[in-house]
Structure 1
Amino acid sequence: MEKKYRIRKNMEFKNIYKVGKNYWNRNLILYVKNNGLNETRVGYTITKKIGNAVTRNKIRRRMKEIYRLNFHNIKDGYDLIFIAKRSIVDISFEELEGSMIHIMSIAKLLKKR
């Protein structure tokens, strides 16, 4: 994913946590903030409580791939931060995909078909 579609700076993460609206389900927390740009940017947070580095990287790779596959269905102009909960370790790729789509639909980020 190109750099312009990623949230990279700690200050940006903190601002989204402070100002953004949050949504949650069993496996994820989603922070959303309107960014005033023509593209949607995304960031991922997986804490050390989830597991070791191998486990955290596996979860991050899965989340990035799910976002990449569904990128065209997401409205433009938002900053998104996905935060993994502990229950995410035991679920399959399909369940994680369903969970991410579910939380984005709750936040009304999906384009209407």
Structure 2
Amino acid sequence: MEKQYRLAKREDFSKVYRYGKSMANQQFVLYYLPQPKAEQFRFGVSVSKKIGNAVVRNRLRRMMKEIIRLKKENMTPQYDYILLARKPVVEMAYADMEKSIWHVIRKASLYKKNDFTKK
């Protein structure tokens, strides 16, 4: 994911956790906080050590970031997002993970539909 879309600093994560809202399903928890001054969204990923070893956690992080990167135009701008993985994610295939991530984003009413995709 490009640098402008990354949520990387500890204080930014803390701010989203403390002041933001959350939405969850069985596999993911999405924290989000409006940032009116920002032009686009920023996105962070968190995978606990409870999920697995470093190889498993990094693989999940890469997959989660790639899912968002491929459809970043569907994310509502001017928000900071943090996506947390829960234990059931380890056994999921990429396609199932993609459905689950977009499900939790839609559930939070943050999925932006593009007018140019309709024909």
TM-score (norm 1): 0.96
Q: Does 1:7 align with 2:11?
A: no
**Residue of structure 2 equivalent to 1:85:** 86
For residues 20-63 of structure 1, give each alpha carbon's deviation from its aligned partner in whole angstroms, at most 9, with x where no partner exists. Answer: 00000010000010011110000000010000000001100110
In the other structure, the counterpart of 1:55 is 56
Q: Which residue identity does 2:99 align to in structure 1?
A: G
Match of 2:47 in 1: 46
Per the alignment, residue 33 of structure 1 pairs with: 33
Paired letter, 1:5: Y
Gapped regions of structure 2 (runs ≥ 5): 115-119
Number of residue pairs matched by the alignment = 113
Instruction: State the identity as a percent.
Output: 40
Deviation at 1:73, TM superposition (A): 1.0
Query: Matches of 1:49 and 1:91 in 2, distance apart?
Result: 16
Deviations along 1:51-99, one digit per CA (max 9) or x if unpaired, are 0000001100110110011101111100000000011000100110000
Of 103-112 and 54-63, more deviation after overlay is shown by 103-112
2:101 aligned partner:
100
Deviation (angstroms), 1:2 = 2.1
Distance (Å, rounded) in 2 between the aligned partners of 1:77 and 1:97? 22
> Where do 5+ consecutive residues of structure 1 fail to align?
none
Partner AA of 2:26 in structure 1: R
Counterpart of 1:10, as a letter, is: R
The one-letter amino acid of 2:53's match is: N
Normalised by the length of structure 2, the TM-score is 0.92
Which residue number in structure 1 is paired with residue 66 of structure 2? 65
Report the CA distance between 1:107 and its aligned residue: 0.9
